[in-house]
């Protein structure tokens, strides 16, 4: 496949006062919504949408939108609404990463909404499904212990609703529907491309390979991402088929500026060092990076560990596996996160070199630049988008992975 490049922004509510985050020690679930300023949020939405438009104008292949609840990390309470807006504002593909289907009591409603999006956009939708974070379980009163079961059953129901004529009845363990007969069906046949997204869950990687769908690695270190690819390929080969680059995506923090030094300092906004909440959800003056992550090293967006990973939500393997240990060890400092590839910073030449190395190591068919975060200024975000669109992406489009060519891996800049 021809490698594709997407723009991503959490579109977070970054207008909160730092003092409030320091007072409470967290910024989601129980963070009082009396802090929310409607007018500021309105203005933020227009700024974020303009950034998406600019990325599209500069040649990005598409945009990624997502969904979170009860958090300043993201104002996207409905990924389908975000996608509906973006389909009217950009020219490329819109990837939903994604619908947290375990929290929905009627997955057919999700199937109908995605079908509408695909029809309205003229077939420009990628449908991503996610399990949803721990906070999503608690904020919607979903039982975390049933999260994976509900995820897998809802996925099968949605796929059947798109591909098999109705009406039919569904009697599963978690879903019971007398009539499944959606009148809205996707334009793309048999259905839009499907992604599953996750943060180093070996169960989800293996499940994605069994389903032969794309697995999108979310903000993880490069070594762990390469391990995800290996796991996926092992499962696929055991099932008798060979995956391609289109079966792996990689979404990671990216900060490019005019110089390496500028990019390194601006990238701190992604990790909450100089700008308050940023990625981790706790200001640098009140907590360290590791204090704002769950016990498995999963980014929590400012949640207590028991919120990020409530009992029953994660398996022991997901909590203690080698990939998670590697992430936890590297994300304790901003410098460590840079060394591990949890965030990629630099001027254009450095960024190009780093991403060639990433392509050589993991060969993702989809690269998603997480290019805005925290209180990062709008002008710096726009400059970063400009450099990505005009210099970085054109230089990467023709780069073939060393996994394919057998050539030496492009070195990581020192």
Q: What is the reported pLDDT for 273?
A: 44
Helix (H, G, I), strand (E, B) or coil at 216: strand
Task: Confirm if 67 and 77 have CB atoms less than 8 A apart.
Answer: yes
The residue count for the chain? 414
Per the DSSP assignment, residues forming a β-bridge with 62 are: 6, 93
Q: How many domains does the chain fold into?
A: 1
| C-alpha span between 39 and 44 (Å, rounded) | 9
- 398 within some domain: yes
Q: What is the reported pLDDT for 298?
A: 29
Quick one: CA torsion of 132, 275, 258, 5, rounded to 10 degrees? Answer: 10
- 414 within some domain: no
| C-alpha span between 174 and 141 (Å, rounded) | 15
Q: What is the reported pLDDT for 414?
A: 80
Domain containing 356 — which CATH number? 3.20.20.30
The tens digit of pLDDT for each residue in 346-398 reads 999 999 999 999 999 999 999 999 999 988 999 999 999 999 999 999 999 99
The CA-atom distances, in angstroms, between 292 and each of 27, 67, 220, 278, 328 are 10, 20, 16, 11, 12
The backbone torsions φ and ψ at residue 154, rounded to the nearest 5 degrees and listed phi first, read: -60, -40
Which residue range(s) make up the domain with 229? 4-405
pLDDT tens per residue, the chain (414 residues)? 899 999 999 999 999 998 888 888 888 899 999 999 999 999 999 999 999 999 999 999 999 999 999 999 999 999 999 999 999 999 999 999 999 999 999 999 999 999 999 999 999 999 999 999 888 998 888 999 999 999 999 999 999 999 999 999 999 999 999 999 999 999 999 999 999 999 888 999 999 999 999 999 998 899 999 999 999 999 999 999 999 999 999 999 999 999 999 999 999 998 764 334 444 333 333 332 233 333 222 233 466 777 877 877 777 666 666 555 555 555 568 898 898 889 999 999 999 999 999 999 999 999 999 999 988 999 999 999 999 999 999 999 999 999 999 999 999 998
| C-alpha span between 177 and 93 (Å, rounded) | 32
- 413 within some domain: no
Question: DSSP secondary structure string, 52-78?
Answer: HHHHHHTT-SEEEE----SBTT---S-
Longest dimension (CA), the chain: 61
- 73 within some domain: yes
The backbone torsions φ and ψ at residue 4, rounded to the nearest 5 degrees and listed phi first, read: -120, 150
Task: Confirm if 393 and 7 have CB atoms less than 8 A apart.
Answer: no
Q: What is the reported pLDDT for 265?
A: 95
C-alpha triplet 202, 244, 59: angle, nearest 5° = 105
Strand 93-100 relative to strand 125-130, pairing: parallel
The backbone torsions φ and ψ at residue 5, rounded to the nearest 5 degrees and listed phi first, read: -125, 125
| C-alpha span between 384 and 388 (Å, rounded) | 6
b/e map of 234-264 (b: 16 or more CB within 10 Å)?
A: ebbeeeeeebebbbbbbbbbbbbbeebebbb
Model pTM? 0.91
- 316's CB contacts (< 8 A; 6+ apart) are none
Q: What is the reported pLDDT for 285?
A: 31
Helix (H, G, I), strand (E, B) or coil at 397: helix
- 399 within some domain: yes
Handedness of CA 145, 147, 148, 153 (dihedral sign): positive
The backbone torsions φ and ψ at residue 2, rounded to the nearest 5 degrees and listed phi first, read: -85, 120
| C-alpha span between 260 and 141 (Å, rounded) | 45
| C-alpha span between 285 and 274 (Å, rounded) | 9
The backbone torsions φ and ψ at residue 198, rounded to the nearest 5 degrees and listed phi first, read: -165, 170
DSSP symbol at 333: S
DSSP symbol at 140: T
């Amino acid at each position: 496949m021809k490698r594709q490049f997407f723009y991503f922004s959490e579109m977070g509510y970054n207008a909160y006062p730092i003092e409030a985050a320091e007072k409470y020690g967290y910024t989601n679930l129980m963070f009082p919504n009396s802090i929310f300023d409607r007018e500021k949020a309105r203005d933020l939405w227009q700024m974020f949408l303009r950034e998406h438009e600019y990325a599209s104008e500069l040649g990005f292949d598409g945009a990624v939108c997502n969904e979170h609840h009860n958090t300043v990390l993201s104002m996207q309470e409905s990924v389908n609404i975000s996608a509906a807006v973006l389909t009217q504002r950009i020219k490329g593909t819109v990837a939903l990463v994604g619908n947290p289907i375990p929290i929905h009591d009627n997955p057919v409603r999700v199937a109908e909404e995605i079908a509408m999006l695909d029809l309205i956009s003229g077939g420009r939708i990628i449908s991503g499904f996610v399990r949803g974070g721990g906070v999503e379980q608690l904020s919607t009163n979903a039982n975390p212990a049933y999260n994976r079961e509900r995820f897998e059953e809802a996925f099968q129901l949605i796929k059947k609703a798109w591909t098999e004529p109705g009406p039919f009845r569904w009697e599963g363990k978690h879903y019971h529907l007398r009539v499944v007969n959606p009148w809205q069906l996707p334009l793309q046949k048999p259905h839009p491309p499907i992604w599953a997204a996750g943060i180093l869950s070996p169960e989800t990687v293996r499940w994605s390979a069994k389903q032969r769908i794309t697995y999108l690695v979310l903000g993880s270190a490069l070594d762990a991402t390469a391990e995800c690819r290996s796991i996926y390929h092992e499962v696929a080969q055991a099932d008798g088929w060979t995956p391609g680059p289109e079966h792996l995506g990689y979404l990671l923090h990216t900060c490019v500026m005019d110089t390496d030094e500028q990019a390194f300092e601006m990238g701190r906004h992604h990790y909450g060092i100089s700008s308050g909440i940023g990625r981790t959800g706790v200001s640098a003056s009140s907590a360290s990076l590791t204090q704002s992550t769950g016990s498995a090293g999963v980014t929590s967006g400012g949640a207590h560990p028991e919120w990020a990973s409530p009992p029953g939500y994660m398996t022991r393997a997901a909590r203690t596996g080698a990939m998670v240990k590697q992430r936890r060890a590297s994300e304790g400092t901003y410098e460590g996160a840079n060394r591990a590839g949890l965030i990629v910073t630099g001027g254009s030449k450095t960024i190009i070199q780093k991403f060639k190395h990433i392509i050589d190591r993991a060969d993702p068919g989809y690269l998603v630049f997480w290019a805005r975060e925290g209180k990062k200024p709008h002008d710096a975000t726009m400059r970063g988008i400009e450099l990505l669109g005009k210099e970085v992406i054109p230089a990467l489009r023709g780069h073939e992975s060393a996994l394919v060519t057998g050539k030496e891996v492009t070195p990581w800049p020192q």
